[in-house]
A and B are shown apart, each in its own frame.
Chain A
Amino acid sequence: MSRGLARGTAVALLATALAACGGGDGSGGGTSGSGTGTGGESRELTFWMYQDRTPQAGQVIERIRRDFERANPGVTVKLVKIPKDDYNTKLGSALAGGSAPDAGILDQPLVSKYALDGTIEEVPAGLIDEAGYYRGALDTNRAGGKLYGLPQDQTTVALFYNRRLVPAPPKTWDELKQAAARVHAADPDVAGMNVPKGDGYGAWMFPGVVHGAGGAMVDDAAKKVLFDQPPAVEALQLWVDLQKSSPRAITDSDKPFENGRAAMTISGPWDVPTIKEQFPDLDFGVAPLPYKTEPAGNIGGENSVVFSTSDDPDLAWKWLAFLAGPDHNGAVADALGGFPVHLKARVVAGGPEQAAFLEQLKVARARPAVPQWIQVNDEIIAPAIESALTGRATARQALADAAARTRSLLGWTG
């Protein structure tokens, strides 16, 4: 390499580096917004959320962002959209590294945890009228009786069924088992149901089924583990029984329900438009989850919080209240893939399918408010479900063992 060439390259590189890096510099970390907060000056707010469900949902959020900026001159809201798989990893490193945003979406079970250790701010008095919100959704933001976040949408899972294979949706566990068996008997290449598996997602759905038999996973007030009791054992046995007519070689393929290879599946409202767009030929309906003794389900959804490192918490709360308020929450919730949390917000999602979810929401229950619940869910309950589904243990043995482990981990006696 000649010296001239080497020098030329070095200079060119330096120039590119300076130009390129300068370009990216204007976008400081989340906490770099000017914190003066005096009226006319420019104020900046960083808000983290999950990746858009669809391009259309992204446009809705963008429109609301512009509305907020127009209503608050001088304010800039920066939205950072992160794939859900990676969200908590990124948030964890940002909190530890001092680069957390002003505000962001937070998983329901994390709110109480973050509240207890002072990572997030308490909702200022008078920000919202609590009576205007669905109680269940609001309560997922409470810790020690205080409110630490605003819900943005609420959601639940229900039974999707293929009308061609299952003309009328089953209402009870027995009907569900019969329907699944009938489908599989008629065509061995079609599974009765896409039975959840013993992974984190299956374990997350499991409590809804347990509630359907009149049981609960835990009694966190009395510090008692309940998922070795008959309702939970019966719920797991239901999945084991269903699997007889639902071979995994079928249900483990890509999108088995959408492709007509599994007659039923459990999913949420966010899947309805996606299925309709991608699989227009599929004739499907949605019904509340079948139950044994009482209708029940899981409540889910997205909460939003203000991090205590924010320079401008007032503005952050204003933004969150804007999103959750009656005027915008309908659109926000729909973009997030759920239903509004404000009683007066308009339900955007149309179609007969949505009725089933709304009915399901009335009987949906929140997940256990135990700080270590995510670990219990992934490391103890999921493997127990899997060992019952694969026949390695009976449902009773698997759950008894899991309950014993949970008691030792949590230090509970009951």
Chain B
Amino acid sequence: MRRISVYVALVLLAAVSVVPFLWMLATSFKRGQDIYTTVPSLLPLDRKTGEWAGTLDNYAYVLDVGGLGGAFVNSVWVCAVLVPAKLLIDALAAYAFARIPFPGRDKLFVIMLGGMMVPAITLLVPRIHVTQSLGMFDSGWGLIVPNIASVLDIFLLRQFFLSIPKELEEAALIDGAGRLRIFWRVVLPLSKPVLAVVTITSFLFHWNDLVWPLLVTNDPGLHTLPLALQQLVASPDGGRAYYVMAGAALAVLPVIAVLLVFQRRILRGIAFTGLKG
């Protein structure tokens, strides 16, 4: 009996999560005026006759005119380069902060944490300036390099590395292994869960980030998915829901794929990051 009530509650909560999603999918298959029904329909039906009226035209439009296809490719390669590179840089730094003694280490760490608290929006203009000075404006580099590390991720990774029993590393040290070798051979293999967490959160962030690509690219050939989506949303004809939803549906599919791959590891990753009392 109790079990049933748990499932009922779960189904209700899941419905709240999923219905907006289903509405998005349904709308992406609807024809223009069929979205204006006083009783919202979760199926693409003709608004007068109630008959099935699903169409793929919206997808064809966003891929062809909306430029979603090219933007999709750009987003894929930006994330494919940025996310692993960022993970590597963050993990190396986090490991040093956690384990390798060097002068001024802890002070440096605290200063870096402080820098994280300034609201990002005020940093945009100076960042554009730096990007321009480095000659990366309006290039693939400009999408990647200004995002290539994250203090928050360093913090998370450091917490995790601190929780790994030190004895494992000490044994290897005594065997004469170098620090880098210990990092690759001992620490990283033990850290897969937290690496999965950082990967998925930073992938989600960059996959959906609108503001930076908007400001730093001019060339339409460099547009990423959120930029292409924004063109549909902010379109001068008032934003047609059926196009926007087709674009949104296309943008979300790869994320779900990534999620399915990493989902189990994410859970374990967070359990280990030292959040437990």
Direct contact of A and B (CB under 8 A): yes
| Chain A contacts to B: CB under 8 angstroms | 1, 3, 6, 9-10, 13, 16-17, 20-25, 27-30, 46, 48, 50-55, 78, 80-86, 89-90, 92-94, 96-99, 101, 254-255, 259, 270-271, 274, 278-279, 337
Q: Tell whether, in the assembled complex, residue A83 and residue B234 are in contact, meaning their CB atoms are under 8 Å apart.
A: yes
CB distance from A284 to the nearest CB of B (A): 15
B99 part of interface (Cβ distance < 8 Å): no
Check: B272 CB closer than 8 A to any chain A CB: no
What separation, in Å, do the CA atoms of A284 and B65 have in the docked complex?
A: 29
Q: Which of A29, A97, A279 gathers most chain B CB within 10 Å?
A: A97
Roughly how many angstroms separate A85 CA and B193 CA in the complex, as a whole number? 40
**Are B140 and A55 touching (Cβ within 8 A)?**
no
Q: Are A23 and B140 in contact (CB under 8 A)?
A: yes
Q: Is B144 an interface residue (CB 8 A)?
A: yes
- Asked if residues A27 and B184 are in contact (CB atoms below 8 Å), the reply is no
Could you jot down 15 A-B contacts, CB within 8 Å?
A13-B84, A16-B77, A20-B140, A24-B139, A25-B140, A28-B139, A29-B218, A51-B235, A78-B218, A83-B235, A90-B215, A97-B128, A97-B132, A255-B238, A278-B33
Within 8 A of A (CB), among B136-151: 137-141, 143-144
Question: Is there contact, CB below 8 Å, between A93 and B125?
Answer: yes
> Is residue B168 within 8 Å, beta carbon to beta carbon, of the partner chain?
no
Q: Is the CB of B218 within 8 A of A9?
A: no
* CB atoms of A99 and B140 under 8 A apart: no
Interface on B for A, CB 8 Å cutoff?
32-33, 36, 65, 77-78, 80-81, 84-85, 88, 124-125, 128-129, 131-133, 137-141, 143-144, 184-185, 188-189, 214-215, 218-222, 230-231, 234-238, 240-241
Cβ-Cβ contact count across A and B, 8 Å cutoff: 127
Q: Does the CB pair A27–B84 fall under 8 Å?
A: no
Cβ contact within 8 Å between A50 and B236: yes
Contact B185 A46 (CB under 8 A): no
Given A16-B81, A24-B221, A94-B128, A6 contacting B140 (CB threshold 8 A):
no
Known: A24-B140, A55-B65, A259-B36. A3 touches B184 (CB 8 A): yes
Interface of B is mostly: helix
A residues in contact with B78, CB < 8 Å: 20
Give the shortest distance, in Å, between B220 (CB) and chain A (any CB).
7
Cβ-defined partner of B215 (8 Å) among A27, A51, A89, A270? A89
With the chains together, A6 CA to B188 CA distance in Å? 11
Q: Which residue of B lies closest to A13 (CB)?
A: B84
Residues of B within 8 A of A83 (CB): 230-231, 234-235
Chain B contacts for A274, CB-based, 8 A: 237-238
Chain B nearest CB from A338 CB (Å) reads 12
Question: In the complex, what's the smallest C-beta–C-beta distance from B126 to chain A, in angstroms?
Answer: 8
- Chain A residues with Cβ below 8 Å from B32 are 278
Distance between A219 CB and nearest chain B CB, rounded to angstroms: 33
- 19 more A-B residue pairs beyond the given contacts A28-B139, A80-B219, with a C-beta to C-beta distance below 8 A: A20-B78, A21-B140, A23-B140, A24-B138, A24-B143, A25-B139, A25-B141, A27-B219, A51-B234, A53-B237, A89-B215, A90-B214, A92-B125, A97-B128, A97-B137, A99-B137, A254-B36, A278-B32, A337-B236
Residue contact B132 to A98, C-beta cutoff 8 Å: yes
Among residues of A, the one whose C-beta sits closest to the C-beta of B73 is A20
Given contacts A24-B221, A30-B218, A93-B124, contact A86 B241 (CB under 8 A): no
Residue contact A3 to B185, C-beta cutoff 8 Å: yes
Report whether A93 and B128 are in contact in the complex, using a CB–CB cutoff of 8 Å: yes
Question: A270 to B236, alpha carbons, bound, how many Å?
Answer: 9
